[in-house]
Chains A and B, each alone.
Chain A
């Protein structure tokens, strides 16, 4: 029963009980593997109309890879920057966070420029205008100056270039969310939900272009990120999810319900009052403003993953898990490469009239390149780190490091 009380104490007060048995914190391969997998799914889904995307999770549930990506962003921010706040204080963590946000910003701008170049090349070579339409990049060709300023200020986001701006805003909010979660995770989640609902009521969102709004409304998606921060904070404290079979059962039941709703067409219940609801989840989902169904679905998935997927490094033992983990560990690079590749993929698909063989080839080829990139970057880091530590060891010894002198 101690895990129950410890978990309850954590939810209310942000602390485990003093006598609680805690899990030893260590790198959790589940995060890397699942993130790697969701990066590949995002790549496939960013080539709409391809045959593989018809089998991707968004066809079988309310939430999709984007929700997982944002949730894991919260988890890993809590582990990385939350840990830094605990060890080095807010100032150092804030600087690190600022550096990370700057990196994300530069990456976003670079991807924007590359995508514009790719599309411009494709359109002038093929005379097919729809490539511009498909990713809403007309403003860049129509009024380049305005669009460029919009891109730099994140107020113009072509399709598919909308996740990094969300990530930037969420990371900027991280210290506030983290400190709140330290006080009381339950209260933090309640506030987060209240902000989301208020934004819905007052139709708050950030502007995108002349008439539109952000595809991922930060006022809504901060809920998923906050949930991730709370999960990450629990992991940081070594708090285990309590054994509550009724929650397991409810989570499975909800996921099964979502699956049943998504694979049917229309309203099988025959209750007229539910017609609109069935239409709303079957015809399209409210990805911009999040929806309770999305949130419950990602919550159920997260609960089951925490409870039933083996913790530690078990998931990354076998080769597929290890490869996915490599992609997940280098998520920014793999994500950016995936965006560019998926847009090149869209063009190749259309130029080959969506030939089924080419579709499979592009999906498999892209997934191979992305996992290959992840594996390469992990390897690259490991060999450069080895070199760096060898070099820096004598350098550190030569430095007059004050604490060590005074202590001796």
Chain B
């Protein structure tokens, strides 16, 4: 089973102490541990600073050509910062989702990160709403990263430093690890087994 992690810097793993501490790397290790026998591969396609449109352009070469069962799309942060327009963003996301769907790839959208002071970006919640609405309308999963991070912050399990790193945004190792574990939960519990079976079947057929 192949999973593609499409995204910007949180996917690329900025803030992590090493490459194998990024969330896609941890997710791969975790899925392999939980699904012995299945050949799980998580491909990291994170490029820092990219907008949803930049990633839409990468959908064919970086996602579809990898023939994954699942793509996790972490996006919208740069569109929210640049305030590109909610209608425009909705259109871009819908195009991305339908492209993946046409190729038979299950998509998981990732919610925006929780920020210590969101007031800086007055439209932040509006962009989160576009993301949520797209996921709902298209009937795909939205991974609740925002709620998770907010929960971590409220529960004081992590210091803000641990949670978002010295730069205040990027999950440091512990944060990436939690994110990956929760994603693995979702993949294994939800769509996981069905997909693996399907992937196994198609692999046998093509062989």
Chain A residues in the interface with B (C-beta under 8 A): 48-49, 123-124, 127-130, 132-136, 138-139, 141-142, 158-159, 209-212, 265, 279, 282-284, 286, 350-351, 353-354
Contacts and interface: CB of A to CB of B under 8 A. Distances in A.
Nearest to A48: B82
A283 B169 contact: no
8 contacts: A49-B83, A128-B120, A133-B8, A133-B169, A134-B49, A139-B14, A141-B166, A142-B16
A127 B83 contact: no
Contacts of A212: 47-48
Nearest to B121: A350
Contacts of B57: 284, 286
How extensive is the interface on chain B, given as a class?
35 or more
B119 A133 contact: no
Contacts of A354: 83, 120-122
A353 B49 contact: no
B121 A136 contact: no
Nearest to A349: B120
A284 B15 CA distance: 29
A279 B15 CA distance: 35
Contacts of B95: 279, 283
Contact of A128 (B12, B49, B115): B115
B79 to A, nearest CB: 10
B111 to A, nearest CB: 15
B1 interface: no
A133 B120 contact: no
A283 B122 CA distance: 22
A142 B15 contact: yes
A353 B169 CA distance: 18
Contacts, number: 110
B191 to A, nearest CB: 27
Closest 5 CB pairs of A and B: A129-B169, A136-B49, A138-B14, A49-B83, A48-B82
Given A49-B83, A127-B116, A141 B167 contact: yes
A132 B167 contact: yes
A124 to B, nearest CB: 8
Contacts of B77: 130, 133
A211 B168 contact: no
Contacts of A129: 115, 164-165, 167-170
Interface in B98-119: 115-117, 119
A138 B15 contact: yes
B78 interface: yes
B28 interface: no
A283 B93 CA distance: 11
Nearest to B16: A142
A96 to B, nearest CB: 36
Given A129-B164, A134-B81, A211-B46, 4 more contacts: A132-B170, A138-B12, A286-B57, A353-B121
A138 B170 contact: yes
Contacts of B121: 130, 350, 353-354
B133 interface: no
A134 B120 CA distance: 13
A126 B97 CA distance: 35
Contact of B83 (A48, A128, A286): A48
